[in-house]
């Protein structure tokens, strides 16, 4: 089975487009590939799903214990002919940018997978070899199996390949040429989502063709062929309760593993749209409002007054609710759109969502619960992640968030039936899904 971590020396090397190219070419070659993302990113897996038509999974060694990461990888890679794990940032960039914890290298080391480095050779030639040798010497084992030159003209590739192989000892498996017509647009949280790119399938086809022609597939198989992991069964018990899950263009940041964990604990997930639906799914015992881009759809969310009223009434009546980041902003009083115009939201929480124009409290953090609540026990530590350009005038104070560098702040609203705050939670391998499902089941039984 062809298995690899697709990494790079730094961000901006084109890992996501290279991942899409590899996955689409593997699909065309009949390998039935699967995909994973190293780290907490929501957007890159959307592109993996667009290529494959199947789920992509996050693997994160800050959120999860190594055994949980290995189980997730084995469960979802088994039965496929290839697996591509797209790295995040630079190869060794992990927790706080100053440690290798939760880096692409850490994941390659934990899963014992070879790494294929995506290198964009602009503005350097022989110096690339020096950089690559530095990457190889930085940790032992380095797991780097080969190089893929990206955004590289064929003439430059023919010059660089023999030099890089001689100077580094690393094989160059091929190149992807400059493809401006296949570029994927970005905005304030990174790439636009896959659903927003109308000609995405055309772009994927261009990338697949380039990978088919530009990669030495026999060499790649030799470098990255590994025994397939044994299958780990996944059991979904009988449904105990229904949970309403917001899912549309405004609320699209959900981890596949979190949804699976809820199903594994007996939840039936009922998807709905705060943008277009007028009411919550019937007989829902819980409500999950994930992150996304509510700020870009603030006017449309405000115009859907029946849904705002329905959610306000449900949450205030005690419906167990989880609202992360964008979902948290939606529960506030107002939310500014991209132009700074405020729009009314659900009005459950006191804060007003305001545009800041820069990343706020970005990155991994550990939450400590100050009191017992639906999801947390007093003193419990919970790994989390923040990534947003909007803020709230009232962020809550039920939790203490702390970064690895010692910075701390108060955040979150919690009680017996709610968690709401900017921090995104990752539920796989934790007691959170069981606690949420139990709260939802109790809510339904009380109402019968």
Please tell me the predicted confidence (pLDDT) of residue 46: 84
Tell me the per-residue pLDDT of 334-352, one tens digit each, with 9 for 90 and over.
999 999 999 999 999 999 9
Q: Where does the pLDDT of residue 191 fall: very low under 50, low under 70, confident under 90, or very high at 90 and above?
A: low
325 included as an active-site residue: yes
Tell me the per-residue pLDDT of 364-396, one tens digit each, with 9 for 90 and over.
999 999 999 999 999 999 999 999 899 999 999
Question: Which token pair is 317?
Answer: 């009546």
Cα separation, 284 vs 319, in Å, equals 8
Please tell me the predicted confidence (pLDDT) of residue 190: 56
172 or 180: which carries more pLDDT confidence? 172
Listed residue (261, 157, 166) closest to 215, CA to CA: 157
Would you mind telling me the total number of residues written for the chain in this entry?
448
Please tell me the predicted confidence (pLDDT) of residue 254: 95
Please tell me the predicted confidence (pLDDT) of residue 234: 81
Radius of gyration of the chain (CA): 23
Which residue has tokens 């409500």? 287
Tell me the per-residue pLDDT of 252-262, one tens digit each, with 9 for 90 and over.
999 999 999 99
The answer for residues whose C-beta is within 8 angstroms of residue 18's C-beta and 6 or more apart is 6, 118, 148, 150, 176
Cα separation, 11 vs 93, in Å, equals 10
- Ranges 148-157, 191-200, 233-242, most confident: 148-157
Q: Where does the pLDDT of residue 54 fall: very low under 50, low under 70, confident under 90, or very high at 90 and above?
A: low
Residue 189: pLDDT over 70: no
Which residue has tokens 């498996």? 173
Backbone angles phi, psi at 384, to 5 degrees: -150, 180
Question: Of 34, 152, 325, 411, which residue is the catalytic one?
Answer: 325
- The Cα diameter of the chain in Å comes to 74
Which residue has tokens 């339904």? 444
Please tell me the predicted confidence (pLDDT) of residue 240: 93
For 14-164, strand residue ranges (E) read 33-38, 56-59, 82-86, 115-119, 144-150
Please tell me the predicted confidence (pLDDT) of residue 401: 97
Please tell me the predicted confidence (pLDDT) of residue 52: 72
Domains and CATH numbers, the chain: 2-224 (3.40.50.300), 241-447 (3.40.50.880)
The answer for residues whose C-beta is within 8 angstroms of residue 84's C-beta and 6 or more apart is 4, 6, 19, 22, 23, 26, 33, 34, 35, 36, 48
For residue 77, the Cα-to-chain-centroid distance in whole angstroms is 18
Residue 184: pLDDT over 80: no
For the chain, what is the mean pLDDT? 94
**Between β-strands 241-246 and 267-272, what pairing exists: parallel, antiparallel or unpaired?**
parallel
DSSP of 204-269, one letter per residue?
HHHHHHHHHHHB-HHHHHHHHB-PPPPP---------EEEEEE-SSSS-B--HHHHHHHHHTTEEE
| DSSP state, residue 350 | S
Please tell me the predicted confidence (pLDDT) of residue 361: 84
Average pLDDT over residues 319-333: 98
**Inter-residue contact 415 to 315 (CB < 8 Å):** no
Residue 247: pLDDT over 90: yes
Please tell me the predicted confidence (pLDDT) of residue 187: 53
Cα separation, 430 vs 68, in Å, equals 10
Listed residue (203, 158, 159) closest to 181, CA to CA: 203
Question: Comparing 48-62, 257-271, 327-341, which segment has the lowest mean pLDDT?
Answer: 48-62
Tell me the per-residue pLDDT of 80-139, one tens digit each, with 9 for 90 and over.
999 999 999 999 999 988 999 999 999 999 999 999 999 999 889 999 999 999 999 999
For the chain, give the percent of residues with pLDDT over 70. 98
For 231-351, strand residue ranges (E) read 241-246, 267-272, 284-289, 321-324, 334-336, 342-344
Which residue has tokens 């084992």? 141
């Amino acid at each position: 089975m062809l298995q690899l971590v697709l990494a790079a020396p730094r961000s901006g090397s084109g890992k996501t487009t290279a991942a899409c190219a590899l996955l689409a070419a593997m699909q065309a070659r009949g390998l039935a590939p699967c995909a994973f993302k190293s780290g907490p990113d929501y957007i890159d897996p959307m592109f993996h799903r667009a290529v494959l038509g199947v789920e992509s999974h996050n693997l994160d060694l800050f959120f999860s214990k190594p055994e949980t990461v290995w189980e997730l990888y084995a469960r979802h890679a088994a039965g496929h002919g290839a697996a591509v794990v797209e790295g995040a940032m630079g190869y060794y960039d992990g927790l706080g940018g100053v440690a290798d914890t939760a880096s692409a290298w850490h994941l390659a080391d934990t899963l014992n997978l070879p790494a294929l480095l995506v290198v964009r050779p602009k503005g350097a030639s022989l110096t690339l070899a020096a950089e690559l040798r530095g990457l190889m010497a930085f940790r032992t084992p380095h797991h780097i199996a080969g190089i893929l030159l990206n955004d590289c003209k064929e003439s430059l590739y023919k010059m660089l390949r023999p030099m890089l192989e001689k100077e580094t000892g690393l094989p160059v498996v091929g190149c992807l040429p400059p493809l401006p017509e296949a570029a994927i647009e970005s905005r304030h949280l990174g790439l636009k989502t896959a659903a927003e790119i109308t000609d995405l399938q055309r772009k994927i086809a261009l990338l697949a063709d380039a990978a088919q022609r530009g990669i030495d597939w026999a060499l790649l198989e030799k470098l990255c062929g590994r025994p397939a992991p044994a299958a780990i069964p996944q059991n979904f018990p009988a449904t105990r309760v229904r949970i309403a899950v917001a899912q549309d263009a405004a609320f699209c940041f959900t981890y596949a593993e979190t949804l699976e964990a809820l199903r594994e604990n007996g939840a039936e997930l009922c998807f709905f749209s705060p943008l277009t639906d007028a009411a919550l799914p019937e007989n829902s015992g819980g409500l999950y409002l994930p992150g996304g881009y509510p700020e870009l759809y603030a006017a449309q969310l405000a115009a859907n007054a029946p849904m705002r009223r329905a959610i306000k009434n449900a949450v205030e009546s005690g419906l167990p609710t989880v609202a992360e980041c964008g979902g948290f902003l939606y529960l506030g009083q107002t939310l500014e759109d991209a132009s700074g115009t405020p729009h009314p939201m659900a009005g459950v929480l006191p804060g007003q969502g305001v545009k800041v124009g820069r990343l706020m409290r970005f990155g991994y953090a550990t939450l400590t619960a100050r009191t017992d609540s639906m999801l947390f026990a007093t003193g419990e530590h919970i790994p989390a992640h923040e990534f947003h350009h909007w803020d709230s005038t009232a962020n809550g104070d039920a939790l203490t968030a702390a970064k690895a560098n010692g910075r701390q702040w108060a955040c979150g609203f919690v009680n017996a039936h709610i968690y709401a705050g900017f921090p995104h939670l990752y539920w796989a391998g934790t007691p959170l899904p069981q606690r949420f499902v139990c709260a939802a089941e109790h809510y339904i039984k009380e109402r019968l």
